[in-house]
Structure formats: C-alpha cells, structure tokens
Amino acid sequence: MNLNKKIRTMRITLSLMIIFAIFSAGCSPSKNITPSSTEVSAVSKAAGFLASMVEKHEGFIGSDEQRDKASDYAYLYDNAVAAIALSYAGAQWHAEKIADAIVFVQEHDRTFHDGRLRNAYLKGDPKSQSGRSIAAGKITVRLPGFWKDGHWQEDSFTVSTSTGNMAWAILALCTAAENASDSQRQAYLTAAIRAAEFVLSLKSDTGGFTAGYEGWDDSQLKATYKSTEHNISLVAAFSVLSESLKDTDQDQSNICAKAAKHAKDFVLSMYDDEYHCFYTGTTADGITISKGIIPLDANSLACLILGEELENRHRTISFVEERMAVGEGFDFSAGDLDGIWNEGTAQIAICYRQLKNTEKYERIMAYLETQTAKDGSIPAADRDGVSTGFAVVGTDILWEFNNVQSISATGWLALAQLDDNPFIRVSE
C-alpha cells in the first residue's frame, strides 16, 4: 500500500524540520527542563532515572552497565517503553527526545527507506556528529558495533528489524504525540504511519503478522514465524494509531483498526482452553503452534491488552503463578526456574492491579524495591544467567538475562509504580 499524497506532504514538512534540527544539534541543551528528572523522581523513582538518562544523552538511552562490547547500544524496544513511561509520568520533554530520535533514524537509514526501524541504535542524539555520517551530501545514521582486528563489526540482531519492536515504536510515537505541539504531533504520527505501512507488508494470509526481517542489509531474509507477543503489541499499536487518526484520516484509521483485529484474532488462536495460557506463537511455517516454551510475556501482555475481554484472565495469571514463580517474582518462561526476570515480574504487578489484587501487587512491588538501585534503575534479572529457553536471533548463543542495569525493566517498573497500563492511551 503506497502512502497517499497527504502523507508525502507531511514527510516533506518533516524533512525540513529535521534539516533545521541537524544544524541546531550543536547548541547547548536546555537549562529549564520542566519537569526535571528530580521532579519526575517524586512521581516515580524509576521514571526519574529514565528522565536523567534522557537529560544526559538527549536522544536514545541505553544501560551504563552493558556487557560484551555493547556499551553504546540503545535498543529500540527499551527506548519505546521508556518514552511511554515518561509520557505517563508527565515528562513530555524527555519522551519527545526519544520520539525525535525515532523519527530521525527512520528518515535516515543507510539502506532502507520503507519505514522500518533497526533493533538497536547508538546511544545519544542521532542528529549529532557522533550519531550520523554525511557522504556525498547524504545523511545516514550510524549503527552500534565495535572494532576487532582492525575491522568494524556489527551483529545481525542489531541491524535486523523485529515486528514487535516496530509495534512498540508505533505505540511510543502515538503516546508522545498525545501532548505534543501540532508540528511535533504531525511528525510523530507521520513516522508511526510509515512504520505501520511497513508492518502491514508482513501481514499473513494465515493470520497475524510475521516476525520481521533478519540478517545483513544486502541479504536480509523474512522471518516467517509468528510471535504471540509481537502480535499482542501490534493490537495495541494499530488500535492506538487508528484512534489517533480517526479525526484526520478516516481511511487510514480504518486500515489500522482492521490490522488490529487481524493481530488480535491470531493472539486468540494461540490460547489453550485447557491450560488457560497463550503459546509463544508458530514455527517457521507460520501455522504449526510452537508449544515447547511458554514465555511469561505472551501471557502477561495478553491480559493487559485483552482486559475483561479475556474472561478467564485470572486463570491465565494462575498458570503463570503455578509454572513460573520464583520466590517473590517470576522467571521468563515455564522451564528451568533458574531466576527472576524483573521486567516480566513488573508486568505481572500491573496485571494484579488490573485484577484489583492489591495484596499481590504490593508483595511484588516490595520485591522490586529490593532490586532497585539508588538511582531508581533495576537490573534485568536478580542474578546472572537467567535462561529464556531461546537463542539470540540469528545465532546459536543462548539468550539469557543477567544482573545488570536494564532500561526496559526500569521502564516497566516505572509503569508499575505509576499504576499504568502502556496499552491504554495517555489521554484516557
């Protein structure tokens, strides 16, 4: 589906705004940020940490405790969750810094111009000299990596595009647009529409949306499996974008509403009536349900997006409690039970609030407080080597969570502290 003339006009306007922003990028940062990160901390200690990171980097943020040569990595999903949490905390300036970065990198990819976004970028402002390259008059954003034996190295996951990450970026852009100026709102929604256009190209005739593209720029392959978690996020992203466009572009709004239903139908097809759980998705054929590993987030996020529509959601939470509980928290999946995944544990806290189970909510929040550093951040897991059961995309390396500072986990903690569901519009 091609962008209509209205969207092309919006992109021209956006390009002019970006050019102005590039020449302004060298200016000193604002000294009168309201609210400041200190003020945000009074609302949510975790959100205050995220705000302080944005004030430090003025763009994409990433953990200061990353390992494996990834010190400059800023993951798209992490930043989207952070932007949403900051919006809910009333930190609009901070949320817009992340949204502005998303808009810029989408417009200035070195290879692709179809609305897709990479899984990770460099920390900081991509409009700055360290964040961009200029060759033959063309501006492109740099991607994270490292030097090894005199050669620049990147990893295939970083340069790939995950459908789930795209969904969260759309959600973050729409959330930031809620309280933005007219010009910024237009820029954010234009970027969200372009991202949605790309995701629509992944629509499957057998239900849902496939997982994205994996690999290097000149040889990327379509990931043909379908993820329940990705499609849950798409239900939220398409629904919020549809609502955002309802008064200005009814046709595009209707397209997004239909896409949300298409994703939701797939999510519901992954539900097991006997166990009251949601499976992880399908295998590469896009049809066969993958039942080997049952992740927490396919179930916690399903409860958050479906709400009362999921009549037996308390049974879904009971399934998680019975199969994934570790101490006062929860593991990533029903399996080894070798540690606590803090991000998913914060998600379950929000589910308990949704179910009006104050006692269990407070118990989890008390545990998460024991994980919280003085700056308000929390680690990905309560110990090193918490397994997921999956491998890192494109490799045979086991995907594990470690006891290191995590932006996404801190973002979910902020949402739990604020008592907010990220799948609900800020204005509601």
> CA-CA distance, 86 to 89, in Å (whole number)?
5
Query: What per-residue confidence (pLDDT) applies to 28?
Result: 44
> CA-CA distance, 102 to 348, in Å (whole number)?
28
pTM of the model: 0.92
Query: What per-residue confidence (pLDDT) applies to 26?
Result: 45
CB 276 within 8 A of CB 315: yes
| Overall size of the chain counted in residues | 428
Query: What per-residue confidence (pLDDT) applies to 391?
Result: 86
Query: What per-residue confidence (pLDDT) applies to 83?
Result: 99
DSSP letter string, 164-194: HHHHHHHHHHHHHHTTS-HHHHHHHHHHHHH
What's the N-to-C CA distance of the chain in angstroms? 31
CB 46 within 8 A of CB 378: yes
**368 residue type, one letter:** L
Please, what is the angle between helix 163-177 and helix 92-107, to 10°?
130
Residue ranges of the chain whose pLDDT lies below 70? 1-31, 67-70, 426-428
Give me the torsion for CA of 232, 234, 239, 241, rounded to 10°: 150
In the chain, domain spans = 5-418
Query: What per-residue confidence (pLDDT) applies to 135?
Result: 82
Continuous segment of H or E residues that includes residue 47: helix 45-57
Query: What per-residue confidence (pLDDT) applies to 89?
Result: 98
Query: What per-residue confidence (pLDDT) applies to 107?
Result: 98
Query: What per-residue confidence (pLDDT) applies to 7?
Result: 53
Q: How far is C-alpha 402 from the geometric centre of its chain's CA atoms?
A: 19
Query: What per-residue confidence (pLDDT) applies to 64?
Result: 87
Continuous segment of H or E residues that includes residue 147: strand 146-148
Q: Is 394 helix (H, G, I), strand (E, B) or coil?
A: coil
CATH class assigned to 5-418: mainly alpha
